[in-house]
Structures are given as C-alpha cells and as structure tokens.
C-alpha cells in the first residue's frame, strides 16, 4: 500500500527515485510524485495522477536536472480521491519541507483544525498534508528538521512510514516509521529509504529494517537512528539474500503468469529440508517446539486476510483431520475488534504473504497481549510480522509482485499441510501414512508442471466465458476454500462478480441465479465426497448451467454434464488443493488478459494493505 523511495548521495536522485518507484508500483498506483532540492536550494515538487509513466511524462526537463537528494511516492488513496492535488509529496506552508507518507494519521481532523486556528490553509483532502504542515509549524520554532519531525509525530495518532526533506537543510533526509514498513538501504557513499527492499535492491543488499517509533536522520556520509524520546538506537544491518532477477518479469507478459508458472519450484521450496523420511514426519524448526510441546496444543487459532485466510481454511481442514486439534480461522480485521476466547493452551498462527498487513499485525499484537504463543507463516523475510511473532515458518515463495496472490497461496497451503502432518504424527497418524504423505508430496511439483501444460487449453475456455458478468465456484470439503480462492482471483483481476460456495449449499440460494449465461466452475475430484458433488452438478445441469469441471485424470463421467473439463493428476486428498487451484488461477488470469485488463495492478487493490 503506497510506496516510498528516497535517495541521498552523489548520484542524480531523480532517475534513482523513478526507477525505485516503478519497482514499488505494485503496492499502490493511482498517483505518484517526487520532490528534490535543486542547486538554488529550492524545493521542486512534481506530482501526477496515474502511474509512474504519467509522472515521467510531466517531468522530462527535471530528468535532466541534477539533484543528489530527493523523495518519491506512489499512492494508494485513503483520504481524498486519487488526483494530482492529493498525490504526495505534500509540503509545508512555506514550501520548504516536503513529505511522503504511507499509512493513516487518524487524528488528522483535530490537527487540521488546530492548524487552521493558527491561520493555515490546505489544498488537498489528505491527512498527509496536515502532517507536512504540522512539521512546518514546528520547524518555524526551532529551525531543526529532526526536532520538528519528532514534535509532529508525538502528536500524530495512527500509522506512518514517512520521509521528509527540507530546502534549508539540503543534505538530510529524515525518515520514521510506526506501523508502516520502512527500510534504510546502505550503499557506497549513498543511502536510500524505502518502504520495501525491492526499491533499492539494484543498488545495495545492505539494509536496516526500522522499528516502530524509530526516526533516522540521514546525511550523505552518515545516519543516526533515535526514538521519539531522543535515545540513540543501535542499528542492525541485514543482508538481503535475493537479487534483482526475482523481481523481473523475464519473458512473461505479466508477473502473475510468471508466478503461476513458478509454482513447481516455489512449492518445492516450501517443503525442502522439512521432510524427515527416516521418521516419516515433518520438522518445522522455526517453531522451536519439542514433540511434547506439540502434543500439548489443545487449540489452534489461525488469523489472516484475503488469500492468506483461504489457505488458513485449508489449514483448518487438514489439521483437524490429521491431528484432531480444533482450529478456528478468523479474518484479522474481525479478530482484533472483538473479544475472542483464547485459552492458555491455544497457539495462534498468523498467515501473511507480505508480513505487513495492518489488521493481521494488530491481531498478532492482541493475541500476544493475551499471553499465548503466536507464530507466523510469512513470505517476506524481515517483515514486521516475521519479527514480532514468537517464531514461525517462512514459506520461501520468493518475491510475489502480482497483486493477485498465486504462488504464496500454494506455498502457505504447503506449510499448513506440513504442520498438519507434524501435529498428526505426534497425535494420531501412523508412520505408514507419514511415509505415503512424504512420497506423494515429493511428486507434487511435477504434477503442477503437468497442469501448467494445459495453459493454452485453459485460455480457450477463458474465451468462452470472458464476457460473463457472474460466475459461481463450487467445491466441497477442503475444495470449498479452493473455490473461494478461485472466485477471489476472478473478482480481483477481471472485475467479474464471482462467488465461492460449498456445492451442496448452492441449493439454498445461488441456484436461483443459474442459467445458461452463468458459468459454474466446479472442483469435483475423486475423493470420499465425489458422488455428492456429482449430484450437485446434475442439479446445475438441470437448470442449463454452463459447467467447467476440475476433475481427476481419467474421470470420464464428468464429461456427461460438463461443457469443459480440466483434468489434474491424482494425489492423496490433503494435497489436492495444491493442484486444483492451479487451473483456477490460470482461468482468472486469461479472462482478465483477454479483457485487456491490467492483470498485475488491478483497480483499487494493493499488494500489501498496511492500513486497516
Ligand atoms: C491484499 C492482497 C491479497 C492478500 C491480502 C492479505 O488484499 O491484494 O492478495 O491476500 O492483502 O495479504 P498478506 O500479505 O497479509 O497475505
């Protein structure tokens, strides 16, 4: 959600910031802007509605200007429309200070009222302009940017990641965070600030992840991190262990397609090194739990948002089935605002690809405050959730850039299945099952590869339903969350209204919608409830529904009532979601692409939702 990039060093800041913003565009992309200090020690601000290319178009002259300090922003609107006036940077009333901001200043109306009482006026509808003017207000008292930022932040309630420059002090960037990620990149005689490592990775692999309530003052040669009470904080420098190629599209038309095709590898990375063949079990070292600890778990609470919540639902199904431990799965945004029952023998798992989702983070903190252990299932190493949990499991999916999550979902699901088997082996399941599981899991990457070979065929199916206005996804048991995920993918990127439903529940409502124009995408694999879903699909057929079935290789029966069948290889029940979701991802992708939509940056969405 919104991206921040700042640069100070010997090079020209403008192209570095523009390039960095492009790398962050997946986080927010409705408007963009940047501010530099020119050689006359004046602040210059460029802003434009739309994507970074729109910003570049209005500043060809500036591209030739040289400035070795600047800050930039790509926005996902919270307060005020996505237009040029509301775009960041915002400035103080004397046009000396420029600020870019991620997050929300919750008390901005009260602060704005006070500033208006002091004679201030405002151009935009944003909370950010209020913060910029407030910093300006304090700057007039002390003429010290760091002090002014600290004074303003002490009054601000809410979440922020900010970067600030001031034309009176042209060799300093001040940056701070609370609840919204911010890193300091350390180069050779240059520094970067960014909301995300992606923005700086071509320049440096050395980063410092700022913590909440920390402020960094950066000059060309040095930096100092303090907290709001002026105590000096010792910085821990981390080395980023991935490189630029992982955030490039390569030959793929979209990141989403690339990420779908990466799944044979990303799923393997999620289980690599975690299978203990000799004991027919699984080890998740990051949990730091002995078999005795695992046996003591009486209840599991899973908390997540979006796609991660869907993987949590699969987790519930497999953990309850293999380990017989009750599992509750809740949206983080709901969990944090009610009074959930957390017994002392409960453990909590928060699932988050980005590790930064504001609601998930708040739910994590609420669960910790109740004195139970909270573990994370995250992708982004060093993310806030990864750092604040008591331990956890990285899914190792690699960078996911497409806003619609694909490979993170299968990797999260893989980890949850591993967890279920690990808990199952200390409770209920025998070594023979453990062994079979390990053997079957090892075959999954190749089976995903086989499904990916149906890509062209799935595109042909997509052509036949690309103009639909609604779609229904049906599944039973652990395929119900897969149906939810398939429907979510379609909604997110094609803007077709879609719903996921447990197939039998269809009779209690959605069946009223079924006619020849309504595609029904059904997951009907050979398992214990195969016959049941077949009956449900006959009910759809009787109402002239157009059925696309995800079926087990070799199942001819489904052709009787399906217009199209996408076959997937057989595997054991608990691993089926890792296969059945792949055609649904491809179907959504091709429909959106055929509709000429912006697959990787769908309207109104953002990859990482750092506001509640
Ligand atoms: C946003 C993204 C989704 C993601 C959800 C949760 O809505 O667009 O793809 O599933 O946030 O994100 P997280 O990073 O916590 O998994």
Give the single-character DSSP code of 279.
G
Residue 492: pLDDT above 80? yes
Taking the mean position of all CA atoms in its chain, how far away is CA 476?
A: 27
Residue 456: pLDDT above 70? yes
> Rounded to whole angstroms, how far apart are CA atoms 527 and 379?
31
Rounded to an integer, the average pLDDT of 387-415 is: 96
Residue 365 Cα to ligand 1 middle (Å) = 18
One DSSP character per residue, 330-375 reads EEHHHHTTS-----TTEEEEEEESSS--HHHHHHHHHHHHTT--EE
Rounded to an integer, the average pLDDT of 219-236 is: 94
pLDDT for residue 73 = 96
Mutate to test the pocket of ligand 1, among 196, 358, 609 (most ligand atoms within 8 A of CB): 609
> Rounded to whole angstroms, how far apart are CA atoms 342 and 496?
38
Residue 348: pLDDT above 90? yes
> Rounded to whole angstroms, how far apart are CA atoms 219 and 170?
9
Cβ neighbours of 173 (radius 10 Å): 26
Mutate to test the pocket of ligand 1, among 354, 399, 493, 598 (most ligand atoms within 8 A of CB): 354
Catalytic residue chosen out of the listed positions 51, 373, 447, 607: 607
- 48 in ligand 1 pocket by Cβ < 6 Å? no
Lowest pLDDT segment from 135-139, 145-149, 243-247, 416-420: 243-247
For 429, the 3-state DSSP assignment is coil
For a pLDDT cut of 90, what percent of the chain falls above it? 80
Q: Can the peptide bond before residue 199 be classed as cis, meaning omega within 30 degrees of 0?
A: no
Residue 579 Cα to ligand 1 middle (Å) = 21
- 353 in ligand 1 pocket by Cβ < 6 Å? yes
pLDDT for residue 372 = 94
Residue 355: pLDDT above 90? yes
In the structure encoding, which two tokens stand for residue 145, read together? 């940017």
Lowest pLDDT segment from 56-70, 266-280, 454-468, 561-575: 56-70
In the structure encoding, which two tokens stand for residue 482, read together? 């897969």
> Rounded to whole angstroms, how far apart are CA atoms 443 and 241?
28
Residue 608 Cα to ligand 1 middle (Å) = 6
Of 273, 280, 299, 322, nearest in space to 420 by CA: 322
Return the ligand 1 atom nearest residue 404 CA.
Answer: 9
> Rounded to whole angstroms, how far apart are CA atoms 36 and 71?
7
Residue 377 Cα to ligand 1 middle (Å) = 13
Rounded to an integer, the average pLDDT of 111-125 is: 96
In the structure encoding, which two tokens stand for residue 397, read together? 């999916």
Mutate to test the pocket of ligand 1, among 485, 598, 608 (most ligand atoms within 8 A of CB): 608
Query: Each residue of 510-556: pLDDT tens digit?
Result: 888 888 889 999 999 998 889 888 988 888 888 888 999 999 999 99
pLDDT for residue 504 = 84
Question: Pairing between strand 69-75 and 3-8?
Answer: antiparallel
Say which residues have a Cβ less than 8 Å from residue 147's Cβ, sequence separation at least 6.
138
- 360 in ligand 1 pocket by Cβ < 6 Å? yes
Give the single-character DSSP code of 407.
H
Rounded to an integer, the average pLDDT of 149-163 is: 95
- 308 in ligand 1 pocket by Cβ < 6 Å? yes
- 307 in ligand 1 pocket by Cβ < 6 Å? yes
Residue 354 Cα to ligand 1 middle (Å) = 7
- 352 in ligand 1 pocket by Cβ < 6 Å? yes
Residue 404 pLDDT grade (very low, low, confident, very high; cuts 50, 70, 90): very high
- 601 in ligand 1 pocket by Cβ < 6 Å? no
Residue 62 pLDDT grade (very low, low, confident, very high; cuts 50, 70, 90): low
- 195 in ligand 1 pocket by Cβ < 6 Å? no
Return the ligand 1 atom nearest residue 360 CA.
Answer: 15
Q: Which residue has the higher pLDDT, 482 or 23?
A: 482
- 364 in ligand 1 pocket by Cβ < 6 Å? no
pLDDT for residue 26 = 76
Residue 609 Cα to ligand 1 middle (Å) = 7
For 84, the 3-state DSSP assignment is coil
Residue 1: pLDDT above 70? no
Whole-model pTM: value is 0.87
Q: Give yes or no: 92 in active site.
A: no
Return the ligand 1 atom nearest residue 408 CA.
Answer: 16
pLDDT for residue 64 = 66
> Rounded to whole angstroms, how far apart are CA atoms 588 and 599?
10
For a pLDDT cut of 70, what percent of the chain falls above it? 99
Return the ligand 1 atom nearest residue 357 CA.
Answer: 15
Q: What is the mean pLDDT of the chain?
A: 94
Catalytic residue chosen out of the listed positions 2, 92, 166, 305: 2
pLDDT for residue 242 = 79
pLDDT for residue 610 = 75
Cβ neighbours of 38 (radius 10 Å): 15
> Rounded to whole angstroms, how far apart are CA atoms 506 and 473?
10
Residue 435: pLDDT above 80? yes
Say which residues have a Cβ less than 8 Å from residue 251's Cβ, sequence separation at least 6.
none
Residue 428 pLDDT grade (very low, low, confident, very high; cuts 50, 70, 90): confident
Residue 489 Cα to ligand 1 middle (Å) = 12
pLDDT for residue 608 = 78
Among left, alpha and beta (phi > 0; psi -120 to 50; other), residue 50 is left
Of 312, 311, 259, nearest in space to 589 by CA: 259
Residue 247: pLDDT above 80? yes
End-to-end CA distance of the chain: 11
Of 95, 37, 93, 103, nearest in space to 73 by CA: 103
> Rounded to whole angstroms, how far apart are CA atoms 449 and 543?
35
């Amino acid at each position: 959600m919104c991206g921040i990039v700042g640069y100070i060093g010997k090079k020209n800041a403008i192209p570095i910031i523009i390039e960095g913003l492009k790398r962050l565009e997946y986080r927010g992309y409705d408007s963009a802007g940047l501010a530099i200090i020119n050689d006359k020690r004046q602040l210059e601000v460029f802003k434009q509605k739309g994507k970074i290319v729109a910003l570049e178009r209005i500043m060809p002259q500036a591209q030739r200007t040289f400035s070795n300090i600047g800050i930039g922003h790509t926005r996902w609107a919270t307060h005020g429309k996505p237009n040029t006036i509301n775009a960041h940077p915002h400035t103080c009333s004397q046009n000396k200070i420029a600020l870019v901001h991620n997050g929300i200043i919750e008390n901005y109306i009260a602060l704005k009222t006070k500033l208006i009482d002091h004679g201030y006026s405002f151009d935009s509808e944003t909370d950010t302009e209020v913060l910029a003017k407030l910093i300006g207000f304090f700057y007039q008292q002390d003429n010290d940017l760091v002090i002014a930022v600290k004074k303003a932040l002490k009054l601000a309630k809410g979440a922020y990641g900010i970067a600030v420059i001031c034309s009176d002090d042209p060799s300093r960037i001040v940056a701070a965070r609370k609840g919204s990620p911010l890193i300091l990149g350390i180069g050779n005689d240059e520094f970067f600030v960014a909301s995300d490592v992606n923005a700086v990775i071509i320049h440096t692999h050395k980063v410092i992840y700022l913590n909440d309530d920390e402020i960094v003052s950066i000059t060309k040669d040095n930096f100092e991190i303090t907290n709001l009470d002026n105590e000096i904080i010792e910085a821990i420098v981390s080395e980023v262990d991935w490189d630029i190629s992982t955030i490039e599209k390569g030959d793929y038309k979209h990141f989403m397609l690339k990420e779908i095709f990466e799944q044979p590898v990303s799923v393997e990375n999620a289980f690599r090194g975690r299978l203990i063949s000799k004991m027919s079990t699984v080890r998740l070292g990051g949990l730091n739990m002995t078999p005795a600890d695992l046996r003591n778990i009486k209840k599991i609470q899973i908390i997540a948002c979006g796609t991660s919540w869907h993987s949590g639902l699969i987790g519930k199904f497999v953990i309850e089935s293999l380990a017989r431990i009750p599992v509750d799965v809740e949206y983080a945004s709901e969990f944090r605002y009610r009074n959930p029952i957390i017994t002392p023998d409960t453990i909590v798992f928060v699932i988050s690809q980005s590790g930064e989702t504001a609601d998930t983070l708040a739910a994590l903190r609420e669960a910790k405050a109740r004195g139970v252990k909270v573990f994370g299932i995250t992708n982004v190493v060093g993310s806030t959730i990864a750092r604040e949990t008591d331990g956890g499991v990285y899914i190792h999916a690699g960078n996911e850039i497409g806003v619609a999550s694909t490979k993170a979902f299968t990797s999260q699901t893989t980890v949850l299945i591993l967890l279920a088997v690990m808990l199952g082996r200390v409770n209920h399941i025998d070594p023979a099952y453990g062994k079979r599981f390990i053997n079957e899991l090892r075959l999954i990457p190749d089976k995903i590869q086989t499904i990916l070979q149906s890509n062209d065929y799935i595109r042909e199916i997509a052509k036949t339903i690309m103009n639909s206005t609604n779609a229904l996804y049906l599944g039973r048991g652990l395929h119900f969350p897969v149906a939810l995920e398939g429907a979510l993918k379609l909604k997110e990127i094609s803007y077709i209204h879609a719903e996921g439903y447990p197939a039998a529940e269809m009779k209690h409502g959605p069946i009223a919608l079924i006619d020849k124009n309504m595609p029904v995408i059904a997951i009907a694999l050979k398992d214990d409830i195969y016959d049941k879903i077949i009956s449900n699909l006959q009910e759809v057929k009787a109402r002239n529904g157009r059925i696309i079935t995800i079926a087990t290789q070799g199942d001819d029966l489904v052709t009787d009532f399906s217009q199209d069948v996408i076959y997937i290889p057989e595997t054991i029940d608990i691993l089926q979601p890792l296969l059945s979701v792949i055609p649904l991802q491809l179907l959504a992708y091709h429909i959106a692409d055929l509709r000429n939509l912006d697959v990787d940056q769908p309207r109104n969405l953002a990859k990482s939702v750092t506001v509640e």
